[in-house]
Every structure is written in C-alpha cells, then in structure tokens.
C-alpha cells in the first residue's frame, strides 16, 4: 500500500511526465488540432495533405502554405524562413520516447535544407519534404 509519504512524490513525477512527455495519443490529437487550424486557412485539399503522408510531394501553393502554417504554428521556422533548430530541439523532449532519436537525426539532417528563403511556403515545403524523405515513418507534420 502507498504510504502518505509517497503520494506527493508520485504526484510530482506524474505531473512532470504528463507536462513534458507526450503520449502517442496526445501527439495525434495535437496533429489533428494543427491540421484543423491550418487546412482551412491555406485552402489545402485533403488529397494534398494526405498525399504528403504517402510520399506524394507534387503539390500546389496552397498545400505548401499549409506546411508553412503547420511549421509556423509549431514555432519551427524563424521570421527569416530558416529552420528554428533550437526550438525544435526543445520540443523534441516532449515527444514519445521512441520518436525522439529518429526525429533528432532528421532534424540534424534537414537543418540546412531550406534554400528558398524569400518564399515562406516554399521554404516550409523544402523543410517538410526533407523531414519526410529522412524518415517517412516518423514524419510529424500533420
């Protein structure tokens, strides 16, 4: 049986883990929320958004702007359209444990993948495609 002495310790550990360690279910819910915000805003079609998750990257400007909205919503792009690696690394800590290492490897691989800085939507596309190409199974952009 739990002693009264351990109850506060358990509560603190539970709070820390729930505040900083996202479950797979929470990750899916967050992705759904971001998609529900960004898809209507960008007018990207379901086919384009779903297609990116299947490796179909021949997309229109609306879908590229959808990617920008998602990446910007997650604070992963700086105002100069460069990848915000520092914020990405901080957010990495909140991912489920099994996703951390593959995502970190792709972030490192893709940190300089943006080549078109003058177009925020194209820049987001370049980053997102690199992240997908690096590891389609662990691709996290909604």
- Report pLDDT for 27: 86
In a domain, 2, yes or no: no
Residue with the two structure tokens 């700086």: 78
Per-residue HEC secondary structure of 56-123 comes to CCCCCHHHHHHHHHHHHHCCCECCCCCECHHHHHHHHCCCCHHHHHHHHHHHHHHCCCCCCCCCHHHH
CB atoms within 10 A of CB 107: 20
In a domain, 9, yes or no: no
- Report pLDDT for 47: 97
pLDDT values of the chain reduced to their tens digit, one per residue, 142 residues: 444 444 333 333 333 444 457 788 998 999 999 999 999 999 999 999 999 999 999 999 999 999 999 999 999 999 999 999 999 999 999 999 999 999 999 999 999 999 999 999 999 999 999 999 999 999 999 9
CB-CB contact of 34 with 142 (8 Å): yes
Q: What range defines the domain where residue 75 resides?
A: 24-138
In a domain, 12, yes or no: no
User: What is the distance between the alpha carbons of residues 139 and 142, in angstroms, rounded to a whole number?
Assistant: 8
- Report pLDDT for 20: 57
In a domain, 59, yes or no: yes
In a domain, 13, yes or no: no
- Report pLDDT for 46: 97
Q: How many separate domains does the chain show?
A: 1
Question: What CATH number is associated with residue 57?
Answer: 1.10.238.20
């Amino acid at each position: 049986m739990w002693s009264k002495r351990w109850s506060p310790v358990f509560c603190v550990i539970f709070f820390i883990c729930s505040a900083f360690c996202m479950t797979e279910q929470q990750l899916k819910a967050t992705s759904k929320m971001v998609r529900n915000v960004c898809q209507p805003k960008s007018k990207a079609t379901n086919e384009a958004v779903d297609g990116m998750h299947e490796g179909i990257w021949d997309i229109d400007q609306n879908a590229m702007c959808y990617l920008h909205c998602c990446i910007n919503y997650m604070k992963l792009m700086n105002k100069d359209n460069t990848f915000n690696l520092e914020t990405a690394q901080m957010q990495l800590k909140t991912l489920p444990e099994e996703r951390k290492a593959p995502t970190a490897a792709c972030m490192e691989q893709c940190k300089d993948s943006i080549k078109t800085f003058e177009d925020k939507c194209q820049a987001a596309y370049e980053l997102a495609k690199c992240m997908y190409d690096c590891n389609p199974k662990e691709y996290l952009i909604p």
